[in-house]
């Protein structure tokens, strides 16, 4: 009995089994990683889309604000405010203007003149 | 295994091999042979080219003040096949967008998939409506991004700036002439949608970013434009003319500093404007210039050395029969120098000046001053005017054209001609566009002054200029155009209005004044034209009495704005301590 049992036993090749386990685990891990990364890709895509929308919305708000600034600071708006009395402007009379005349150039201004360092005297 | 079992086993294997081979061939057929066809069909269904719209460029004045730019808006559209609660949607959208419920219900009562409900909906309103639709779980209404053109200054400079159509294409003014630069280039992106219409971002295809339109900087200075607009409005109130035009131009460079026409319209309400209000009369209206044209006859005679400024001409005591037709002066003049012909504005004298050079030469000078051809300004619709060649002239044309009759010129042509005198005889092309830059300020194009030709010698231009200074004096026809502290050169014009049915209209005149300041070193040339001004007395309907004072007021304010230094006469009024300070600053 003992002899026959030993004769029919299938010996397990541990090295081969280990190799198969490693290969299977690697494939499983690779598959899971692939699924995970694919999901990440979709998730990041959604995030990208949402950031794009946010950026577009901010740009729109910025545009609307600059339009409002331009409208409020436009000449027509300022004139309207002037007419309504929110602003007051007093014309500057000719007497209150001081003009600084550019000094006249000397005739010999452009002549090249030598520069001499005077020797120090004791 | 017995042979029978082996055969059966082989048969099953063959069946399986045949089956999987068929599947394999089918797969290869679909995936390899038919790949392109089915990929195309799939793309057609799920992939589409999304346009990324470029932003239209801004228009700015010489000081970078915004004249035209964009405001984001949204277009509200409906898909009738997606509407899940038609009544609730009609009520909500109708009340939010201010559309009558019945009208909206009729619009949505179809099976169309793209129904434009309202265009140019402000961003804030669209956001609020979107939130309300979402909160009530109403589907079938969509929002498309768009932009509309806004003109912060309303009607100011309306004829120069122009406007765009619904497709954001310029159709008038600088908006039209600079369309190529303002429009930009749309971008695109290939996107793929899932079953419910959401974009699958990882499957995005080829993409090209849009190139926004360039910024166009005008030569117009809004401060000067404002001065001109105020004065033209005042003139409209005072004289109620049918039309009016005022132009300010820098003679050395041809830069248009201000340009205003009446009637006008509001650029933001352009759909309400009448065609008559939209015309830029400075470049598309033709007028007989009247006596302002006498500068051409005088310049021709002096430049050809036929006469000198102090040469005297007999002016026939106010009535001259030439070619069987009488020519009158407004006053009886006997002998006048060439200078005085301009100062006193003698028609007979001007006619004799033209006769001294002859028809052909006089015609050449008219053309050399730029009449009869477009000036080349960057504005659409400019006309040539009408200058007939000498072979089409009548016997008396040589006596009528020098006083600005029998010809048609635009106000801009007249300004450019006067600028040639102010600029030492050089004819400069007028320009309204100063430069073109990208949105980040990088220069794309910068336009430099273009001298077209030397019309007269500098000496002749100076002689004409001297005579024109006399026009704005107590001896001349435009004493009212004077500006205290400055010397002004200019010429008045009073032309009877042409009747479209032939002849002239009695009692109706086009009055004008064209001049420059300071006469010795001109900073700007101006033209004031009023068509059919209403005055209390007919004898007041003269260029010198109507257009002259308007020019004077504009010139005075413009000189102050440009910080031009007045002459000694004004300095006398300055307190002594100020003079002392001014003198002290020289050293």
**Interface contacts (A, B; CB < 8 Å):** 74
Looking at residue B511, its pLDDT comes to 94
Peptide bond before residue A16 is cis, with ω within 30 degrees of 0:
no
Find out whether B245 and B227 touch, Cβ atoms under 8 Å.
Answer: no
How big, in percent rounded to 5, are the helix, strand and coil portions of chain A?
Answer: 65, 0, 35
- Looking at residue B199, the DSSP 8-state letter turns out to be B
Confidence of residue B247 (pLDDT cuts 50, 70, 90): very high
Give B386-390's long-range contacts (Cβ < 8 A, gap of 24+).
B386/B286, B387/B363, B389/B363, B390/B359, B390/B360, B390/B363
- B529 DSSP β-pair partners: B245, B512
* Distance, CA of B586 to CA of B8 (rounded, Å): 123
Residue of B55, B59, B66 to mutate, testing the A interface (most A Cβ within 10 Å of its Cβ)? B66
What is the arithmetic mean of pLDDT over B285-292? 92
Q: Does B573 have pLDDT greater than 50?
A: no
pLDDT of residue B375: 95
B104-122 residue pLDDT tens: 999 888 888 889 999 889 8
pLDDT score for B52: 86
DSSP-based three-state secondary structure for B170: strand
pLDDT above 50 (res B572): no
Task: Mark yes or no for CB contact B156/A76 under 8 Å.
Answer: yes
* Helices B294-303 and B359-368, axial angle in degrees (round to 10): 110
* Averaged pLDDT for residues B312-324: 91
* Contact: A103, B586; criterion CB under 8 Å: yes
Q: What residues of chain A lie within 8 A of the CB of B145, using their CB?
A: 56, 60
- Say what the pLDDT of residue B501 is: 80
Q: State the pLDDT confidence band at B181, using cuts at 50, 70 and 90.
A: very high
Class of domain B50-218: alpha beta
Diameter of chain B measured on Cα atoms: 147
Q: What is the pLDDT of residue A110?
A: 61
- Token digits for A115? 């520069």
Residues B418, B516 contacting (CB under 8 angstroms):
yes
Q: How far is it, in rounded angstroms, from Cα B396 to Cα B407?
A: 13
Lowest mean pLDDT among A79-88, B50-59, B167-176, B335-344: A79-88
Q: Give kind and range of the element (H or E) at residue B223.
A: helix B222-239
Q: Is the peptide bond before B472 cis (omega within 30 degrees of 0)?
A: no
Q: pLDDT tens-digit profile of B141-155?
A: 988 888 889 999 999
| Continuous H helices in B304-410 | 338-344, 347-357, 359-368, 397-400
C-alpha span between B529 and B551 (Å, rounded): 10
Per-residue pLDDT, A3? 54
CB B495 within 8 A of CB B546: no
Task: Decide if pLDDT at B231 tops 80.
Answer: yes
> In terms of pLDDT, which residue wins out, A120 or B203?
B203
What are the extents of the domains in chain B? 50-218, 222-571
- Does the distance separating the beta carbons of B156 and A70 come in below 8 Å? no
- Which is it for strands B59-60 and B215-218: parallel, antiparallel or unpaired? parallel
- Pair of tokens at residue B140: 């079938």
Report the phi/psi class of residue B406: left, alpha or beta, with left for phi > 0 and alpha for psi in -120 to 50. Answer: left
Q: Which residues contact A50 (CB under 8 A, 6 or more apart)?
A: none
B71 with A104: Cβ contact below 8 A: no
pLDDT at res. A105:
57
State the Cα–Cα distance between residues B566 and B484, nearest whole angstrom. Answer: 8
Q: How far apart are the first and last CA of chain B?
A: 128
* B268-299 burial code (b ≥16 CB/10 A, e <16): bebeebeeebbbbbbbbbbbbbbbbbbbbbbb
Q: Backbone dihedral region of B435: left (phi > 0), alpha (psi from -120 to 50 degrees) or beta?
A: beta
Determine if residue B335 is left, alpha or beta; phi over 0 gives left, psi from -120 to 50 gives alpha, anything else beta.
beta
Nearest CA in chain A to B52: A56
Rounded Cα distance between B61 and B153, Å, is 12
Q: Where are the beta strands (DSSP E) in B123-271?
A: 141-150, 187-192, 207-208, 215-218, 243-249, 256-262
> Helices B123-135 and B86-97 sit at what angle, rounded to 10 degrees?
160
User: For residues B518 and B562, what is the distance between their CA atoms, to the nearest angstrom?
Assistant: 12
**pLDDT, position B352:** 95
Q: Which residues pair with B328 in a beta bridge?
A: B319
For chain A, the domains span: 14-90
What confidence tens digit (pLDDT) does each residue in B528-545 have? Answer: 999 999 988 777 888 889
- Does residue B398 contact residue B277 with C-beta atoms inside 8 Å? no
E strands present in B501-557 = 504-517, 524-531
Q: Best residue in A65, A72, A82, A99 to probe B by mutation, most B CBs within 10 Å?
A: A99
- Compute the Cα dihedral for B188, B192, B197, B198 and give only its sign: negative
pLDDT at B237 over 70: yes
| B254's tokens | 């041809």
Q: Which two tokens stand for residue A93?
A: 């009379």
Report the share of chain B in percent with pLDDT over 70: 96
Any residues with CB less than 8 A from the CB of B364 and at least 6 apart, and which? Answer: none
Q: Give the pair of three-digit tokens for residue B121.
A: 């909906």
Residue B583 has pLDDT above 70, yes or no: no
Q: Per-residue b/e over B100-119, b at no fewer than 16 CB within 10 Å?
A: eeeebbebbeeeeeebebbe
| Mean pLDDT value across residues B86-97 | 92
HSE-CB of A51 using CA atoms within 13 angstroms: 7
Would you call A41 and B202 a contact, using CB atoms and an 8 Å cutoff?
yes
Give B179 or B83, the one with higher predicted confidence: B179
**What's the pLDDT at B50?**
83
Select the residue from A60, A61, A96, A104 to test the B interface by mutation, using most B Cβ atoms within 10 A.
A60
Token pair recorded at residue B540: 């007041």
Separation CA B569–CA B444 (nearest Å)? 46
Which class would CATH give B222-571?
alpha beta
Tokens 């394999």 belong to which residue?
A: B24
Q: What is the distance between the alpha carbons of residues B19 and B29, in angstroms, rounded to a whole number? A: 15
> Which has the higher per-residue pLDDT, A1 or B10?
B10
Q: Do B201 and A46 touch (CB under 8 A)?
A: yes
Chain A interface with B: residues with Cβ < 8 Å:
41-42, 44-46, 48-49, 56, 60-61, 63-64, 66-67, 70-71, 74-77, 79, 94-95, 98-101, 103-104
User: pLDDT of B544-569, one tens digit each?
Assistant: 899 999 999 999 999 989 988 887 55
- Is the per-residue pLDDT at B412 higher than 90? yes
Residues ≥6 apart with Cβ < 8 Å to B463: B302, B309, B339
**CB B228 within 8 Å of CB B265:** no
Q: State pLDDT tens for residues B380-411.
A: 999 999 999 999 999 999 999 999 999 999 99
Residue pLDDT, tens place only, B338-375: 999 999 999 999 999 999 999 999 999 999 999 999 99
Strand, helix or coil at B22?
helix
Q: Which residues of B touch A103 (CB under 8 A)?
A: 585-587
Spans of chain A below 70 pLDDT = 1-10, 94, 99-122
Rounded Cα–Cα distance for residues B410 and B386 (Å): 9
Of A49, A79, A95, nearest to B575 by CB-CB distance is A95
């Amino acid at each position: 009995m003992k002899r026959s049992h030993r004769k029919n036993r299938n010996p397990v090749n541990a090295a081969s089994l280990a190799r198969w386990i490693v290969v299977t685990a690697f494939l499983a891990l690779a598959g899971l990683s692939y699924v995970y990364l694919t999901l990440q890709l979709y998730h990041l895509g959604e995030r990208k889309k949402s950031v794009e929308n946010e950026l577009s919305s901010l740009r729109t708000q910025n545009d609307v604000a600059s339009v409002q600034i331009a409208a409020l600071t436009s000449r027509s708006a300022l004139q309207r405010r002037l007419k309504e009395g929110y602003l007051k402007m007093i014309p500057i009379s000719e007497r209150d203007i001081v003009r600084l005349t550019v000094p006249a150039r000397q005739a010999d201004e452009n002549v090249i003149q030598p520069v001499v360092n005077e020797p120090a005297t004791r | 295994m017995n042979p029978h079992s082996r055969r059966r086993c082989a048969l099953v294997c063959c069946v399986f091999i045949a089956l999987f081979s068929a599947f394999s061939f089918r797969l290869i057929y679909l995936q390899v042979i038919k790949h392109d066809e089915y990929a195309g069909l799939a793309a057609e269904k799920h992939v589409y080219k999304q346009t990324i719209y470029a932003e239209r460029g801004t228009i700015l004045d010489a000081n970078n003040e915004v004249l035209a730019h964009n405001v984001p808006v949204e277009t509200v559209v409906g898909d009738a096949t997606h509407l899940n609660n038609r009544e609730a949607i009609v009520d909500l959208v109708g009340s939010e967008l201010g559309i009558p419920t019945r009208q909206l219900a009729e619009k949505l009562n179809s099976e169309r998939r793209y129904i434009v409900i309202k265009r140019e909906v402000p961003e804030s309103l669209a956001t609020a409506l979107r939130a309300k639709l979402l909160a009530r779980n109403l589907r079938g209404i969509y929002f498309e991004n768009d932009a509309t053109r806004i003109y912060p200054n309303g009607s100011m400079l309306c004829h120069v700036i122009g406007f765009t159509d619904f497709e954001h294409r310029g159709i008038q003014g600088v908006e039209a002439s600079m369309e190529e630069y303002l429009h930009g280039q749309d971008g695109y992106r290939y996107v793929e949608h899932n079953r419910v219409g959401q974009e699958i971002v990882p499957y995005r295809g080829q993409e090209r970013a849009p190139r926004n339109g360039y910024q166009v900087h005008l030569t117009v200075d809004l401060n000067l434009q404002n001065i001109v607009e105020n004065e033209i409005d005042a003139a409209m109130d005072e004289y109620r003319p049918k039309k009016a035009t005022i132009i300010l131009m820098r003679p050395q460079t041809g830069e248009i500093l201000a340009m205003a026409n009446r009637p006008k319209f509001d650029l933001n309400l352009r759909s309400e404007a009448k065609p008559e209000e939209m015309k830029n009369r400075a470049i598309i209206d033709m007028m007989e210039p009247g006596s302002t044209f006498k500068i051409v006859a005088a310049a021709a005679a002096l430049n050809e050395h036929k006469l000198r400024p102090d040469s005297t001409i007999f002016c026939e005591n106010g009535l001259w029969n030439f070619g069987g037709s009488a020519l009158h002066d407004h006053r009886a003049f006997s002998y006048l120098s060439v200078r005085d012909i301009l100062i006193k504005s003698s028609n007979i004298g001007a006619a004799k000046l033209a006769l001294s050079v002859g028809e052909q030469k006089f015609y050449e000078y008219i053309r050399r001053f730029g009449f009869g051809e477009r000036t080349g300004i960057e504005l659409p619709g400019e006309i040539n005017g009408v200058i007939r060649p000498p072979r089409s002239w009548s016997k008396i044309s040589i006596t009528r054209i020098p006083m600005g009759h029998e010809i048609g010129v635009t106000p801009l042509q007249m300004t450019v001609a006067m600028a040639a005198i102010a600029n030492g005889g050089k004819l400069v092309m007028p320009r309204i566009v100063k430069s073109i830059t990208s949105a980040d300020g990088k220069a794309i194009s910068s336009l430099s002054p273009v001298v077209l030709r030397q019309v007269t010698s500098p000496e002749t231009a100076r002689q004409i200029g001297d005579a024109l200074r006399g026009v704005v004096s107590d001896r001349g026809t435009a004493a009212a155009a004077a500006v205290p502290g400055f010397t002004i050169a200019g010429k008045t014009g009073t032309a009877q209005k042409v009747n479209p049915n032939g002849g002239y209209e009695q009692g109706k005149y086009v009055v004008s004044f064209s001049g420059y300041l300071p006469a010795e070193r001109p900073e700007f040339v101006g033209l004031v034209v009023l068509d059919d001004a209403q005055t209390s007395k007919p004898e007041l309907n003269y260029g010198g009495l109507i257009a002259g004072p308007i020019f004077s007021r504009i010139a005075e304010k413009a000189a102050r704005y440009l910080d031009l230094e007045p002459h000694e006469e004004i300095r006398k009024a300055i307190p002594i301590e100020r003079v002392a300070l001014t003198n002290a600053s020289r050293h």
